[in-house]
Amino acid sequence: MRYPASEKLEIIRIVERSHLPIKQTLDKLGIPRTTFYRWYDRFQVAGPEALEDQSPRPSRVWNRIPDDVRERIVDLALDVPELSPRELAVRFTDTEKYFVSEASVYRLLKSLDLITSPAFIVIKAANEFRDKTTAINQLWQTDFTYLKVIGWGWMYLSTILDDYSRYIIAWKQSPGRRRWRPGWCRQGRRNDHHSEAPRRGRTASGFGRSRRSG
């Protein structure tokens, strides 16, 4: 809690006039002794004016980049605007023999509004594949689902769907994907439904719901 200078002075006067020991008086006032003695020392040295709250002064940053180096970094960024902050930091360190980090270059350029926004490319999912299948075993789709089974815990479920027939030709359930080996869909029928792998075909993998044919 911050006290104004007038309240600090009043607390000092109360402690000075109190017939109780200082510790008991401060305990009744709820003032820590270290705080009181700090106020009292400032009061004795400089009077009531010293009890005013001092505005915090920012301490000097010991590793701040000198102004002349900052100007050279900005000049380099303006000369080669296509370079990223990381590339600028590497080039400046190599050419000027003065190490600057990528973060320092980024903060400097951002403060001068010299950081350009990245060019985002929006990719929208299509309603159907461009190259449509005309027979079975031309394209398979895979899907992974993470679900909780009561009594078993969290399980991974993977399915393989034939794009043309929309038939699930193989599936596997396991507590973790690390237990699966490549080519598990070609194993025996002990636990998994499967079909022959296509000799010439494609496999499309994705997460979420598979597309529906028209």
Which residue has 């043309």 as its token pair? 164
Radius of gyration for the chain, computed over Cα atoms and rounded to the nearest angstrom: 36
Q: Specify the 3-state DSSP secondary structure of 6.
A: helix
Strand-by-strand arrangement of the 202-205 sheet: 168-174, 153-162, 139-149, 202-205
- The per-residue pLDDT for 197 is 43
Q: Which of 26-40, 122-136, 190-204 has the highest mean pLDDT?
A: 26-40
Mean pLDDT lowest for which of 8-22, 35-49, 98-112, 182-196? 182-196
Would you say the C-alpha torsion 21, 27, 28, 32 has a positive or negative sign?
positive
* Residues contacting 56, CB < 8 A, separation 6+: none
Interval 109-146: pLDDT, tens: 988 888 866 655 566 677 777 788 899 988 888 888 88
pTM given for the model: 0.33
